[in-house]
Chains A and B, each alone.
Chain A
Amino acid sequence: MALDARSGAPKLQLNGTNGRRRHRPVRLSVKKKKKKKKKPGGVRNGAAAQGRPRNRFEQAPLYVAVLTYVGFGIVTLFGYFRDFLRALRLEKCHIAQERQELKEFVPLYQDFENFYTRNLYMRVRDNWNRPICSLPGPVFDLMERVSDDYNWTFRLTGRTLKNVINMGSYNYLGFAENNALFLTTVAEAVRGYGVGTCSTRQEMGNLRIHEELEQLVAEFLGVESAMTFGMGFATNSMNIPALVGKGCLILSDELNHTSLILGARLSGATIRIFKHNNMQSLERLLRDAVCSGQPRTHRPWRKILIMVEGIYSMEGSLVCLPEIVALKKKYKAYLYLDEAHSIGALGPTGRGVIELFGMDAKDIDILMGTFTKSFGAAGGYIAGKKELVDYLRSHSHSAVYASAMSPPVTEQIIRVIKGIMGRGGTNEGLRRVHRLMENTRYFRRRLREMGFIIYGNEDSPVVPLLLYLPAKVVAFSRAMLEKNIGVVVVGFPATPITEARARFCVSAAHTRDMLDKVLDALDEVGDALSIKFSRQKFSPRSELYDGTDFELDS
């Protein structure tokens, strides 16, 4: 019943701990490590090698969901009350309103749609859009901001909060740095090419440095060819319409990013959604699509494209890549893998989620990624076969109309890729990849031991910590800022209404000291706010509770 690409037999796995051999029943949810080539020494795959369930989404006790709704209910009632007072002119209205002369016209501002913004977000919006006045490295400086009228307007006091620990920037490998020694080539690129390209790639903006970058990206990923674009979001939203159109089917994961959804909608293809990482749901959709064809005419679909992401940034979960590739080969669909967060951050040499699972990059049809996160630059790439990339060079909106990537940004990406691949004489890049993995494992393990609910996979550097209640989300952010730690909290529109969370991004530039400081602060704040909802107790000695020990004992 398992979708094994090669043979149907259950696989023998060498478990890393104690050197004992384990027979694993072949289940869809357990990862099989394909031993194709010997991995470079040092860092083992975490959950992949030990066969633990990969993505954990623990549920909170029921009272937490009830209290979340109670909290939202009370704030909504007060929201209606305040709107009533504003309508009666008993209270000054701070939001945009129409002028008296235009009252007879069709209304310009839809008051009710902004209910949530006006009555919930505005009350607490001092936790977002905080002005930063330094490099977003492992520590940064914030400008202090106060409000006199409950967050409708802000003023800067002029004081700077120095050395706030940064747990929110996507700085996975720590390449957002301003060390002049490392950035000499970038400075030379500015001296040679200037800063703006003043043209699109198709017209006059195709610089030699762009070609160099594309060759390097293709080599880094192990594919034939690659193409880079100036903006990561635009890479998705402008290239998917070039690949699929009307009469094609897109099977997209439930929790895909807005750029993928926008690109899919712009293309005009039919979109069907499968449950997050759920292979049965995907297989059922594929079977229906292949058997029934297009909705009314029952003609076969022109193309079926499965869109998934490497790491889902709100959950920290990894995609089930071996199973999806097996499904795609069985039903002859195409696979679009968006590695925005996972490229550079996963895998023993930073090649992303494909390397983590030990698979071949040639199995994935379209690899996409961004340079904003691990590479400390801006932009995105699409890689794959040469015919695909050549087609995109002339048919993609982003390639034809968007202006080309700026030269110093291009040079930054080139130097980072060379660093990770080990060229240029140093292995600083590889050391950072390993340090990121150590930091991730340590941080996640300590958080779990403290009793917080953490979503996602053991290997993912994106760590969502669930807070659930709206007031606790706000209190958490403020309490952490008082302890000089900057965190990102996310609430309703970006997450389901009962699952508000704080999202930490572990970086290779964080030292063990900084992580310990953050963990101690989290311990205190967790007790003060009582957000340690986890009901699973973890002993710090992991060899005591490996799954199959139960079978062997009985």
Chain B
Amino acid sequence: MALSDAWKRLSWIYYQYLLVTALYMLEPWERTIFNSLVVSVAGMAVYTGYVFMPQHIMAILYYFEVIQ
């Protein structure tokens, strides 16, 4: 029950995303291209955050003089 509600909610959110970015008017293969671009850009941002997060956190703690 909860799973089907969650699925309905997610698909409504995807529908809103299609409407707002006007992907609703495009053909399915064009939607695939655009979605892959979005996913790859988001993926790269997440990966960069993952790789550099320890260094950034150390720099912040050093700045606020929590560690020497």
Contacts and interface: CB of A to CB of B under 8 A. Distances in A.
Nearest to A79: B26
Q: Which 8 A-B pairs have the closest CB atoms?
A: A71-B22, A471-B24, A471-B22, A471-B19, A75-B22, A123-B25, A67-B20, A74-B22
A474 B24 CA distance: 9
B22 A470 contact: yes
Interface size class of A (residues with CB under 8 A): 20 to 34
A76 to B, nearest CB: 10
The main secondary structure of chain A at its interface with chain B is helix
B25 A75 contact: yes
The main secondary structure of chain B at its interface with chain A is helix
Contact of A529 (B19, B26, B27, B30): B19
B16 interface: yes
B62 interface: no
A472 B25 contact: no
Interface of A: 67, 70-72, 74-75, 78, 120, 123-124, 150, 469-472, 474-475, 528-530
Interface in B1-52: 12, 15-16, 18-27, 30, 34
A320 B58 CA distance: 68
Given A74-B34, A78-B30, A474 B25 contact: yes
B22 A469 contact: yes
A299 to B, nearest CB: 53
A71 B17 CA distance: 11
B44 to A, nearest CB: 20
18 contacts: A70-B20, A71-B22, A74-B21, A74-B34, A78-B30, A78-B34, A120-B25, A123-B27, A124-B25, A469-B19, A469-B20, A471-B18, A471-B19, A471-B20, A471-B25, A472-B19, A475-B19, A528-B12
A290 to B, nearest CB: 49
Of the listed residues B22, B24, B27, the one surrounded by the most CB atoms of chain A closer than 10 A to its CB is: B22
B27 A150 contact: yes
A472 B24 CA distance: 9
Nearest to A471: B24
A475 B24 contact: yes
A372 B43 CA distance: 58
